Amino acid sequence: MSAGRSIDKTLAALADPHRRRAVELLGQRPRRAGELADALGLPAPAMSRHLRTLKQSGLVEESHPEFDARVRIYTLKEGAMADLKKWLADTERLWADQLSSFKTHVEKKRK
Partner 1 sequence: MSAVVVSLRVKATPQEAFDVFTQEIAAWWRPSGLFQLTPRGDGELRFEPGETGRLVTTLPNGKDFEIGRVTIWAPGERLAFTWRQATFTPDQVTHVDVRFEALEQQTRVTVEHRGWDAIPEDHAARHGFPLAATQMRLAEHWRALLAALNETLGA
Binding to partner 1 by residue 45, rule CB under 8 A?
no
Specify the stretch interacting with partner 1 by CB under 8 A; choose among 37-45, 48-56, 66-74, 86-94: 86-94
CA R_g for the chain: 20
- Beta-bridged to residue 60, according to DSSP, are 76
Separation of alpha carbons 71 and 81, rounded Å = 26
**Selected binder of partner 1 within 45, 67, 70, 105 (CB under 8 A):** 105
Binding to partner 1 by residue 103, rule CB under 8 A?
yes
Binding to partner 1 by residue 56, rule CB under 8 A?
no
Binding to partner 1 by residue 1, rule CB under 8 A?
no
Residue 109 C-beta: closest distance to partner 1, Å? 7
End-to-end CA distance of the chain: 50
Closest CA to 46 of 55, 37, 57: 37
Binding to partner 1 by residue 78, rule CB under 8 A?
yes
Binding to partner 1 by residue 8, rule CB under 8 A?
yes
β-strands 60-63, 73-76: how paired?
antiparallel
